[in-house]
Structure 1
């Protein structure tokens, strides 16, 4: 079995060629998976809460546990008393990213869309626009002054501190949020591909019942479970950082 070039793991030709006014709007595998993820995320919440029961069934209980986890573990813990109003957004964000990451180990897919920089960058821009909109709508111009002119800082340090704070909040935050998710999912995808190609190279010449053939397969299962955990962890980190940014926008002077 020939091992493909690493670039082939992330390069997908267009499935449907679409061009409008010279703008390439073709649908490739990544775009298709984004559509599928949106549908899955919508169906999960629709199926769970379309007709909620006082005594919930198993699936509704699982989804309610997810909402409570985001509300109590992230929104209220990070944002504070105002966090409840952002629970729907944070819950959808976490679920969407986790489903995206789960495609890495999904049979027949084996590719996390977040390993393409455009995907986490788009998600981080949504968070960026949201927390800035919240900051300006809640605090007005004080949102900007609270960030750029931090309380307790001597006035003579403002020429140094103010540019740093501006770059940190308005430039580095969205970039670092996107790069963190992108880098982890891309690295995980490459490692998973290398591991399975290596496993195939070892197992293929051996008898399936041999001990040497079973061990790599068992390790593959463990590695897949680990990648699912990494996908969950990255969704959690992205969501909790989004909550931190929203909290900072609500209380810029703190």
Structure 2
């Protein structure tokens, strides 16, 4: 995406961001491959986005290991930040929605989802990384499936033998209406939930990346390649770029919160007594 304008050469045209940004070439382990619909696909291929994900996971693990290795009665600033984050997930999401007993039971899962999504969202605004690990479907889909499995597990554990029956055939509904109600329940409860969890997270970060690249690539183009009075426009695009970076920071936190709280709500619905 970088534009270079060398002295004495024709200025390069502006290259807007595209979906190709999310399918970078394989850097490591290009072999072995397996047949795929568009040719050969590496089995263990690692590209830039995979490296960003691995880096985010490594940093997250390192922060929590170092931050909780020597806990003090009077916490340091780092320990205070970690305790504040963990407390927010514990009290503001898990226990608040599930109660003390079930909140503590599902707390490890909800905490992992929140901080994993947050860490991989934030890579989209870190210089040098510049792409969110959640902007490609793999991670959002895996996390959505984990949330879906937790929802099914909680329901079966709480209401063995009755969970699916009550979910598909809600009590109190006239039997004649089950022809309409049951397909709607199948679609909304067991199909659309993981799909919407996946797409909500992925599309927010995908669009955010495209917008940031658009603003900063336009700034580079106007300043170094366009000539004439166009460099004046770079002031506006640069300002929009920084403003949208702050907005993306808020979106990163908000989407981590939304994903964690929806996972908790689904578990709460599975545990509800009416099931």
> Shared fold (TM-score greater than 0.5)?
yes
Instruction: Compute the displacement of 1:37 (Å).
Output: 2.1
Q: Does 1:235 align with 2:267?
A: no
Structure 1 runs (4+) deviating above 4 angstroms are 20-23, 210-216
Q: Is the 2:22–2:49 Cα contact (8 Å) retained in structure 1?
A: no
Q: Which segments of 5 or more consecutive residues in structure 1 lack a partner in the other structure? A: none
Aligned partner of 1:6 among 15, 18, 21: 18
Query: Where do residues 17-96 of structure 1 align in structure 2 (5 Å cutoff)?
Result: 17-19=30-32, 24-81=43-100, 82-96=102-116
Instruction: Provide the residue aligned with 1:249 in structure 2.
Output: 270
Q: Which segments of 5 or more consecutive residues in structure 2 lack a partner in the other structure? A: 4-13, 36-41
Q: Is the 2:155–2:270 Cα contact (8 Å) retained in structure 1?
A: yes
Taking the aligned partners of 2:17 and 2:89, their CA distance within structure 1 comes to 40
Q: Is the 2:154–2:270 Cα contact (8 Å) retained in structure 1?
A: yes
Q: Is the 1:97–1:235 Cα contact (8 Å) retained in structure 2?
A: yes
3-state SS of paired residue (1:15): strand
Taking the aligned partners of 2:53 and 2:16, their CA distance within structure 1 comes to 25
Aligned partner of 2:137 among 104, 117, 123: 117
Instruction: Provide the residue aligned with 1:179 in structure 2.
Output: 199
Taking the aligned partners of 2:58 and 2:201, their CA distance within structure 1 comes to 22
Instruction: Provide the residue aligned with 1:126 in structure 2.
Output: 146
Q: Is the 2:56–2:123 Cα contact (8 Å) retained in structure 1?
A: no
Larger radius of gyration: 2
Taking the aligned partners of 1:184 and 1:227, their CA distance within structure 2 comes to 9
Instruction: Provide the residue aligned with 1:136 in structure 2.
Output: 156
TM-score, L = length of structure 1: 0.90
Q: Does 1:15 align with 2:27?
A: yes
Aligned pairs, number = 252
Taking the aligned partners of 1:241 and 1:213, their CA distance within structure 2 comes to 40
Q: Does 1:148 align with 2:171?
A: no
Q: Is the 2:16–2:214 Cα contact (8 Å) retained in structure 1?
A: no
Taking the aligned partners of 1:172 and 1:201, their CA distance within structure 2 comes to 42
3-state SS of paired residue (1:113): coil
Q: Is the 1:143–1:252 Cα contact (8 Å) retained in structure 2?
A: no
Instruction: Compute the displacement of 1:20 (Å).
Output: 7.2
Instruction: Provide the residue aligned with 1:161 in structure 2.
Output: 181
Alpha-carbon distance change, 213 to 10 in structure 1, aligned in 2, over 3 angstroms: closer
